[in-house]
Structure 1
Amino acid sequence: MYTAMALIWRKPGTTPTFFQTHYDTVHIPLLQRLVGDTFPLTHTRHYVARREPSSPSNQSSPPPGSPPPGSPEQAYPPIILRGTGDPSDPDAYTVMQWRDEGAFRRFMDVFMREEVQAEMRRDEEVFLDTGREKR
């Protein structure tokens, strides 16, 4: 198996629920349609649990270096069981697997086509913070 991972952030101003629903019900079917039989054998999304803004446990002061109170990242802080975490951690970790590296390369050949990228970008503008990848 050949495994690749994507770290994904939700667009500021969107809720974790909207982000997850759109990713699962719109974005993944779009990707499947665009890349056809090169789609990975598995495409597993792991969503980071986040507190709702009204949660009483959300009232503590943020750790040093974290986003300011009221910022989109601070509005839904991640639920961390161990360690400190960071409110700006990704909202989803996506793990994809292909049969082998050749299958992955065939996927990338299709995925990077201009027309595929254009459609993907249009949808990503709805729910993803793609600027995070460049920071």
Structure 2
Amino acid sequence: MPHTILFFVSRKQGISMEEFKTQYENDLLPLLKEVAGPHFPLEHTRRYIKRTEGQGKEATPRNPDTPAQVLVGAQADFDYDAIIELKFASEAAFGQFFQFVHTPEKAARVTAVEDRFMDRSQMRGVVLGDVVATKNE
């Protein structure tokens, strides 16, 4: 049974969305693939929140000039900048990945890159339960 983890990740103050995406895609992701080696997830999906330049009517301190395009809810509900989905073959596979990448040397390398563009104090993570998809066929 697949084991799926979601992380909600925020960029550091002063980092644009483009810089955030570029550093994630070009710096962090290749490093994660390198340090995880054979334990890299089956899938590593990034979903970036769409933001527009210009002050929104419900600006937040974290995003005063780059509001999300909120359909339901408030700006404060969407102060994170990306939803990261990691999919593993099993909970045991996730455990191997976690243990492998959290050795002191590897964890320090990953943290050093993340600290350049992520606000790690805002990061949140959760394990998903059942995932059900309906397709238009």
Please classify the TM superposition score into its range, dividing by the shorter chain length: 0.7 to 0.9
Cα separation, 2, equivalents of 1:78 and 1:21: 19
Check conservation: 2:7, 2:85, Cα contact below 8 A. yes
Query: How many residues are matched?
Result: 123
**Shift in Å, 1:73:** 1.9
The question of whether the paired residues in 1 share the 8 Å contact of 2:52 and 2:66 is answered with yes
RMSD: 1.8
CA contact 1:5–1:94 (8 Å) conserved in 2: yes
**TM-score normalized by the length of structure 2:** 0.82
86, 89, 99: which is aligned to 2:89? 99
- Residue 75 of structure 1 pairs with residue 76 of structure 2: no
| Correspondence for 1:20 | 21
Unpaired segments ≥5 residues, structure 2 = 125-137
Q: Identity over aligned residues, as a percent?
A: 29
State the AA in 1 paired with 2:35. L
Larger helix proportion of the pair: 1
Q: Deviations over 1:39-58 (max 9, x none)?
A: 000000110001113xxxx3
* C-alpha spacing 1:86/1:113, structure 2 compared with 1 (3 Å): same
